């Protein structure tokens, strides 16, 4: 019996073990800390909430001297593949007070992918633009 269990565990670890990056779970509540755009860090406030299948993100940050903050709101399902998350945006809201052409965008957005990694209690999302969100895990 123990020999059979050992064989099954060996097979699991050889074939079924998730990559190291997925061994840590992103499910939970994350505090928005920094939005890095073109290498420049902007303080960011808000929350990312991940369930096993869905996410909701509501953040604000300041990009320029506009009288109001910028904001992003996104929600929908997500999938993970290795070190990549693909966000399906049922809701995509961008508020950019300093943008005269498109100060507010509200729509069902296109799928958006981001590479991710965990560094201790921090979740780093890196988008194809190379912009980064830095999030901190919050105690439940």
Q: Where are the domains of the chain?
A: 25-137
What mean pLDDT, rounded, does the chain reach? 86
pLDDT band at 66 (very low <50, low <70, confident <90, very high): confident
Nearest to 69 by CA among 105, 31, 41, 43: 43
* Residue percentage of the chain with pLDDT more than 70: 83
Between 4 and 52, the higher pLDDT residue: 52
What phi, psi does 101 have (nearest 5°)? -80, -40
Q: Where are the beta strands (DSSP E) in 38-99?
A: 40-50, 54-61, 70-81, 84-87, 91-95
pLDDT at 69 over 60: yes
pLDDT at 131 over 50: yes
pLDDT at 126 over 80: yes
pLDDT at 22: 46
Q: What CA–CA distance (Å, rounded) separates 13 from 8?
A: 9
Between 140 and 74, the higher pLDDT residue: 74
Q: Which class is 25-137 in CATH?
A: mainly beta
């Amino acid at each position: 019996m123990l020999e059979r269990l050992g064989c099954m565990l060996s097979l699991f670890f050889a074939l079924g073990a998730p990559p190291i990056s997925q061994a840590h779970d992103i499910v939970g509540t994350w505090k928005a800390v920094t939005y890095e755009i073109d290498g420049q860090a902007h303080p960011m406030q808000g929350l990312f909430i991940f369930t096993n299948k869905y996410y909701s993100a509501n953040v604000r940050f300041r990009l320029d001297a506009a009288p109001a903050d910028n904001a992003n709101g996104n929600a929908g399902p997500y999938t993970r593949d290795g070190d990549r998350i693909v966000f399906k945006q049922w809701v995509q809201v961008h508020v950019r007070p300093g943008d005269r052409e498109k100060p507010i965008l509200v729509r069902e957005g296109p799928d958006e992918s981001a590479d991710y990694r965990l560094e201790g209690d921090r979740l780093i999302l890196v988008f194809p633009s190379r912009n980064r969100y830095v999030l901190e895990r919050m105690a439940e």
